[in-house]
Amino acid sequence: KWQSEAPIDYDPEKLRLQSMLNAAEKKRNSIDEVRKSLPVSKYRTEILDAIKNHNIICLSASTGSGKSTQIPAFLYESGFTKPPPGSSTPARIICTQPRRVACMSVAARVAEEQGVVLGRQVGYRIRYEDKTDPLATHIVFETEGILLREISSSPLLDNVSVLILDEVHERTKGMDVILGLTKALSIARPDLRIILMSATSNSQKMSQFFDGCPIFYVPGQAFPVDVHYLTSPEANYIAATVTTALQIHITQAVEGGDILAFLPGELEIITTCELIEDSMRKLGGRVPELVICPIYSTLPPEQQAKIFEPAPPGTRKIIVATNIAETSLTVDGIMYVIDCGYVKENQYSSRTNMEQLVTVPCSKASVDQRKGRAGRTGPGKCFRLWTRQSQYDLASETTPEILRSNLLDTVLQMKALGINDLLNFDFLDPPNSDLLISALESLYALKCLSPTGELTRLGRQMAELPLDPKLSAVLLHASEYSCVEEALTIVAMLSESGSLFIRPPPEKKMYAESAKSKWVSREGGDFGMFLRIYNDWVESDYSSFWCKDQYLNYKGLVRVRNARDQLEKLCDKVEIPMSSAGDDYIAIGKAFTAGFFQNAATLARDGQSYRTVKGGNNVFLHPSSVLKQMHPPVRTLLFYECVMTSKEYLRSCIPIEPSWLFEIAPHYHKKEVAEASKKMPRAPAKAKVAKADSISPGSKNPFPSDVTG
């Protein structure tokens, strides 16, 4: 019977297209539904009216309400980017984010919601990456640093119609400067709309700072969250996180929801993920699959996107995150939050002139934010890894960064913006004068400032480079030592140094370590290793296969290449001529001394630890530093950063001659210091001198037991 019917036209291509169109329409409808359901969408008209009627408003709504994604979109959809008369270029809506990850992720989401290609109508700008189109972009998500640069080249932000400062409650130091500048800008440009968005409800202080501007509260749609505390204190929060996560996963139905665990930093996150993975392997098929997604700022962007992918049916997702997931990124479907109660914070001491990344207890405001992540889509549970009693010890708010960190880059930026009277700048919370003075002294030591506090030519050149002033100083001085090419590579590599190596599977660990040992040299230290890796990659013709074989992160190296190319162009702009010294580590070491002379350390009498030349702090080589493998240990070195975990660790180091300190920075280092470190006792001769390439491949354990962060 069927066969006798008239044949139906069957065009596979047509069918394929039809099914693609159906899928796209379904996705569109679901995106529209999600957008409509967000709390801010219910107040669209009221919010737009408030923005039309006031040049500054504060908008306060809990995390996940749709502030970052919807407010720029509402403004775009209601004509706020119409080209000014006589122009065909759209006016721009700028929305700042404290983190690069959030710029990329929110821009991608808004582009998707608008059905446009990322980089055209909707784009983002972060350091070394500009995904906008000067003629077509209406909405730009950008970091605070990029906005500061933009203000220095266009103080009135001429082509901008709306400036949205997002996550102002985070109070980064960049944001605090922007707030002061914005106040002046609002007077100079009364037509500019300014929106200060915050996830916390205490916007009064902000409003008062802006002469009592209105505050718009969007009620959240929070569900109740049960809070559980430990009955007795637990020092090892990694083990406690793993146990809690597994207990939830084993005893609670996967359909209930996903888990979000907060840990202070990358290393804790990686360790936790590995321990969970191990335990899951041991449990075999007895429990449903657990999809483990780490997220921290140095994780390659392509892996970061994974946190937004829903777990396949019958499985559960656990996101193990830094405070990046506290307010910056919103992931749907979280029912359980595990909070270790700690965060990594930058702390600077003007006494020792050292900035450290320190693990500190979170504030009450911060743990409440974390708790809230469990109650977005339904009732949730929050497991706090501390006791009920100790909650009363928490500080109520996180100390703003400007009150506790090194202000070197901030002060340089402010000077470049023409702000000379720093003490009278309109800060929301004025920094301690010690911090300002210490930054001014360091900038003077770096020859950026004249004795009267004016920006020198060198200072102006430095401000042009999107780098920490010490790194800028290295590039500017590298031409004196004819090693600009090498300095550029090392500086670019330093920005990716955290995500350069790929973790090999356990059976390939030995192989990966021996691959790495060929880049190790005593004279070059970590900087030399970065240089050799990059040069070998260039020699492989930027091959991804080569990276895979060497357990290197290909996409990370692509970003290094991109950063290097951009820095090279900027060098041209600030008139730094190119030159190369090959692997002359004396030249390279001297160029880095010109920028990092304040970060010098000498071997201590115990022959293992180091003491900082200024301040005399006792510090240790980080286990990831190649100098840790040197016998005898190097006597004097420069370090790129000092990280405080269980001890104060120096990461990314290069050996130097002590005499260079006095030779290059006589205004900072006394001759006697250099001489004294020369006379240091030799390290106990416990091992014979090992040639770099004879180091045993397995000697470097990336997770030694004494490191927890």
Residues that bind ligand ADP (CB under 6 A): 34, 38, 61, 63-70, 105-106, 108-109, 308, 330, 332
Min dist CB 106 to ligand ADP, Å, is 6
Min dist CB 164 to ligand ADP, Å, is 10
Residue type at 171?
Answer: R
* Residue number, 70 or 624, with CB nearest to ligand ADP: 70
Whether 272 and 241 have beta carbons less than 8 Å apart is answered as: yes
Measured CA to CA, the distance from residue 153 to residue 700 in angstroms comes to 47
Find tokens 């784009």 and name the residue.
Answer: 123
* Residue number, 195 or 483, with CB nearest to ligand ADP: 195
The residues that bridge with 293 in the sheet, in sequence order, are 319
Min dist CB 595 to ligand ADP, Å, is 37
Min dist CB 338 to ligand ADP, Å, is 20
* Residue number, 329 or 436, with CB nearest to ligand ADP: 329
The residues that bridge with 198 in the sheet, in sequence order, are 60
Min dist CB 261 to ligand ADP, Å, is 19
* Residue number, 131 or 447, with CB nearest to ligand ADP: 131
* Residue number, 109 or 171, with CB nearest to ligand ADP: 109
Find tokens 């916007």 and name the residue.
Answer: 203
* Residue number, 95 or 290, with CB nearest to ligand ADP: 95
* Residue number, 66 or 257, with CB nearest to ligand ADP: 66
Cβ neighbors of 260 (< 8 A, separation 6 or more) are: 318, 319, 321, 325, 331, 334, 336, 337, 338, 373, 374
Tokens read off for 705: 């037991």
* Residue number, 65 or 617, with CB nearest to ligand ADP: 65
Min dist CB 109 to ligand ADP, Å, is 4
- Given phi > 0 = left and psi -120 to 50 = alpha, else beta, which region is 212? left
Cβ neighbors of 696 (< 8 A, separation 6 or more) are: none
What DSSP element (H or E) covers 567?
helix 554-573
* Residue number, 27 or 228, with CB nearest to ligand ADP: 27
Query: In terms of DSSP H, where are the helices of 479-584?
Result: 484-494, 509-517, 525-539, 544-550, 554-573
Min dist CB 182 to ligand ADP, Å, is 19
Min dist CB 375 to ligand ADP, Å, is 13
Min dist CB 141 to ligand ADP, Å, is 11
The residues that bridge with 347 in the sheet, in sequence order, are 356
Measured CA to CA, the distance from residue 667 to residue 191 in angstroms comes to 49
Say if residue 219 is preceded by a cis peptide, omega within 30 of 0. no
Measured CA to CA, the distance from residue 59 to residue 45 in angstroms comes to 14
DSSP 401: G
* Residue number, 329 or 422, with CB nearest to ligand ADP: 329
Min dist CB 66 to ligand ADP, Å, is 4
**Among 625, 620, 645, which Cα is nearest to 264's?**
645
Say if residue 632 is preceded by a cis peptide, omega within 30 of 0. yes
DSSP 449: B
Min dist CB 62 to ligand ADP, Å, is 7
Strand 225-230 versus strand 92-97 pairing type: unpaired
* Residue number, 60 or 398, with CB nearest to ligand ADP: 60
Min dist CB 69 to ligand ADP, Å, is 3
- Please, what is the angle between helix 433-445 and helix 408-416, to 10°? 80
Measured CA to CA, the distance from residue 25 to residue 28 in angstroms comes to 5
E strands along 535-591, which residues? Answer: none
* Residue number, 167 or 513, with CB nearest to ligand ADP: 167
DSSP 43: G
181 to 147, 155, 156, 417, 672: CA distances (angstroms): 11, 9, 10, 10, 44
Find tokens 């840990």 and name the residue.
Answer: 263
Min dist CB 395 to ligand ADP, Å, is 23
Residue type at 490?
Answer: I
Min dist CB 104 to ligand ADP, Å, is 9
Min dist CB 286 to ligand ADP, Å, is 32
Residue type at 174?
Answer: G
* Residue number, 167 or 568, with CB nearest to ligand ADP: 167
Give the total residue count for the chain. Answer: 709
Cβ neighbors of 421 (< 8 A, separation 6 or more) are: none
What DSSP element (H or E) covers 225?
strand 225-230
66 SS3 class: coil
Find tokens 């933009």 and name the residue.
Answer: 150
Whether 615 and 354 have beta carbons less than 8 Å apart is answered as: yes
Min dist CB 107 to ligand ADP, Å, is 9
Cβ neighbors of 241 (< 8 A, separation 6 or more) are: 261, 263, 272, 320, 338, 340, 385
Measured CA to CA, the distance from residue 110 to residue 394 in angstroms comes to 36
Strand 342-349 versus strand 316-321 pairing type: unpaired
* Residue number, 168 or 455, with CB nearest to ligand ADP: 168
Min dist CB 34 to ligand ADP, Å, is 6
* Residue number, 327 or 461, with CB nearest to ligand ADP: 327
Write the DSSP assignment of 296-315 as a string of letters: -TTS-HHHHGGGGSPPPTT-
Measured CA to CA, the distance from residue 564 to residue 572 in angstroms comes to 12
* Residue number, 109 or 622, with CB nearest to ligand ADP: 109
* Residue number, 329 or 455, with CB nearest to ligand ADP: 329
